[in-house]
Amino acid sequence: MSLLEQTIGSIKKTLNQEAFNAAKDRLLNQAKPPGSLGIMEEISARLAAIKGTTDVHLTNKRIVTCAGDHGVTQEGVSLFPAEVTPQMVLNFAAQGASVNIIGRHAGAVVKAADLGVNYDFDPALPIFHKKIRHGTANFTKEPAMTREEAILSIEAGIEIVAELDDETPVDLLGTGDMGIGNTTPSSAIIAAFSGIPVEKLTGRGTGVDDAGLANKIAAIQKGLDLHQPDPSDPIDILSKVGGLEIGGLAGLVLGAAARGIPVICDGLISTAGALIACELAPAAKQYLFASHKSVEIGHKYMHDRLGLDPLIDLKFRLGEGTGAAVCMELLDLSTRILADIKTFEEMGITNAK
């Protein structure tokens, strides 16, 4: 049995119902109007079900930013050259990127992972060295990668979770991405799954103009028409029009779910990875939280397919794991709402209702 098969088989089909019921009961009896803290209460109850306790502590928070390059950038789908990807990975390692700063504020340790950057990093660089190949192929002309490489990229993400969790048990995982051109394969993935017209799913990415957007839509449509990815086969979609870092992001979700770790997925690209994961293993969705609503128009359709509501809308369009980092503080707060707000009984009030 492969690592991917073992991991999918290890994901529990249901969460701890006893802890969930205890959380709902406590929330109902706290000294406030029932449900008055809205989504925060829902988050706290789900975390209780994941962790098996009403007193959850999210002490060890980690964010993994998966990086990869994309051959489809040859079609002019991004304003930035592919050479920016390795430069940004070096910035992540130097703790100087946006996600490093926001993650530090949230109390999270951020580490990048090279799944398929078209650059050879120094082996001593403090990142996860998981390169499958030096970037994907141009999917307007050939499949982005082989099926075997797609599986390897997913398994690399699973391995990263195992390495982190075996070192110090992870309480909360955030996913992030880096890869010039990667909104293009992400839009292709949701188009392949949903059958929704490409033009309804494709945004401007780094900020291309109208002509650039039309070119991007045409490139995605060409890849889909050429390869005909099977919507019932997530690995077929990933291999034909996806990205190596997207496979790694899928593996992070699966690996975390198998170990009972809640996951916050970030923007469009991270959610594309989460979508691959949840199509492979629907039970993984129980462990998944959507951080934010991106300005990328395809993001909404991903959330709709996953049945997830994003927690915030700050008009983000960066990726990296920045939205996940912001929402880590919300999940942290939700645990204290559940555990620390007193019930009427704890206050000694017996006739409050």
Cβ–Cβ under 8 Å, residues 217 and 198: yes
Q: Containing domain of residue 147, as a range?
A: 61-331
Looking at the domain assignment, is residue 115 inside a domain? yes
Tell me the H-state helices in the chain: 3-10, 17-28, 38-51, 84-93, 98-105, 147-167, 183-194, 210-227, 234-241, 244-258, 268-280, 298-306, 322-340
In a domain, 122, yes or no: yes
Which position among 320, 329, 345, 346 bears the catalytic label?
320
Report d(CA 165, CA 22) in Å as an integer: 27
Higher pLDDT, 207 or 263: 263
Say if residue 350's pLDDT is above 80: no
Q: Is residue 66 part of a domain?
A: yes
Whether the full predicted model's pTM is greater than 0.85, yes or no, is yes
Assigned token pair, 323: 């939205």
**258 to each of 47, 134, 160, how far by Cα in Å?**
15, 29, 13
> From the CB of residue 286, how many other CB atoms can be counted at a distance below 10 Å?
17
Provide mean pLDDT across the span 72-89. 95
Residue 91: inside a domain, yes or no?
Answer: yes
More confident of the two residues 344 and 89: 89
Q: Say if CB 316 and CB 267 are below 8 A apart.
A: yes
CATH of the domain at 107: 3.40.50.10210
In the residue annotation, 320 being an active-site residue is answered as yes
Q: Is the pLDDT of residue 178 over 70?
A: yes
Q: Tell me whether residue 252 is in a domain.
A: yes
Residue 292 within a domain:
yes
Classify residue 82: in a domain, yes or no: yes
Residues 131, 182: Cα–Cα separation, whole Å: 17
For residues 160 and 268, give the distance between their C-alpha atoms in angstroms, rounded to a whole number: 21
* pLDDT at residue 165 greater than cutoff 80: yes
What average pLDDT is seen over the chain? Answer: 97
What is the tally of structural domains in the chain?
A: 1
Query: What is the predicted pLDDT for the residue at 206?
Result: 81
Give the number of other CB atoms < 10 A from CB of residue 198: 21
User: Is 283 part of a structural domain of the chain?
Assistant: yes
